[in-house]
């Protein structure tokens, strides 16, 4: 089965700068675009599941097989998506449930705790609330700007986690890099030059020379 469909998507594989937390799970055949973030407790199931580019799945999100998520979609903690279609640039609130065959238009905002019933079609840039979810307004440019700000904050958190994971991969540890003066002190006490060489190698990966 091919690993790339020609659109920058991969078959159950991390590509580009994707971040998949060690406590997230991908099960089956999942097409995933570059730049996605899957946080602790996320479960994404295939078959025929597709995540676009720069999708954020926050802790505890569950994505059932057959779900299609567009580019830059932001799914808040605890949401559940069941064989539905989510248009790009949409925000899905905490503990929301979007049922089978529902379609959410691009740029929409689904508020916390909303349940969208099977087969419901939501127009683009809709503000959706309630149980069952109903359209109660139109999403403003200001709301989309605020969502973008939150996304940028999460991007930095993602980079912090990637550094921690890389350190663990290289050295089998999960600790902050030592300060240069501390490393030289340890070298003097032990006479082991590998201490400094090890830390220097790691810091150089991130453009830091000692």
What are phi and psi for residue 32, nearest 5 degrees? -130, 130
Predicted local confidence at residue 85, as pLDDT: 97
Q: How many CB atoms lie within 10 A of CB 5?
A: 11
pTM, two decimal places: 0.69
Q: What is the distance between the alpha carbons of residues 186 and 199, in angstroms, rounded to a whole number?
A: 12
Counting residues of the chain whose pLDDT is more than 70, the rounded percentage is 66
Q: What is the distance between the alpha carbons of residues 120 and 98, in angstroms, rounded to a whole number?
A: 9
Domains in the chain (CATH in brackets) are 9-139 (2.160.10.10), 142-204 (no CATH)
Q: Which residue has the higher pLDDT, 99 or 192?
A: 99
DSSP bridge pairs for 4:
10
Angle between helix 194-204 and 141-171 (nearest 10): 150
Looking at 26-35, 77-86, 94-103, 128-137, which range is the least confident one?
26-35
């Amino acid at each position: 089965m091919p690993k790339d469909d020609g659109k920058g998507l991969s078959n159950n594989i991390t590509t580009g700068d994707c971040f998949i937390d060690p406590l997230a799970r991908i099960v089956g055949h999942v097409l995933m675009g570059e730049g996605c973030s899957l946080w602790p407790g996320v479960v994404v199931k295939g078959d025929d599941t597709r995540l676009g580019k720069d999708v954020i799945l926050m802790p505890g999100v569950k994505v059932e097989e057959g779900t299609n998520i567009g580019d830059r979609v932001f799914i808040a903690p605890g949401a559940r998506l069941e064989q539905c279609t989510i248009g790009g640039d949409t925000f899905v609130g905490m503990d929301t449930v979007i049922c089978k065959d529902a379609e959410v238009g691009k740029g929409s905002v689904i508020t916390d705790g909303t349940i969208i019933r099977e087969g419901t079609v939501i127009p683009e840039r809709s503000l959706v609330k309630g149980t069952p979810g109903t359209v109660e307004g139109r999403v403003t440019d200001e709301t989309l700007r605020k969502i973008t700000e939150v996304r940028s904050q999460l991007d930095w958190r993602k980079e912090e986690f990637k550094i921690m994971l890389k350190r663990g991969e290289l050295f089998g540890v999960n600790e902050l890099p030592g300060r240069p003066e501390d490393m030289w002190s340890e070298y003097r006490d032990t006479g082991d030059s590998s201490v400094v060489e090890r830390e220097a190698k790691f810091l150089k990966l991130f453009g830091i020379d000692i």
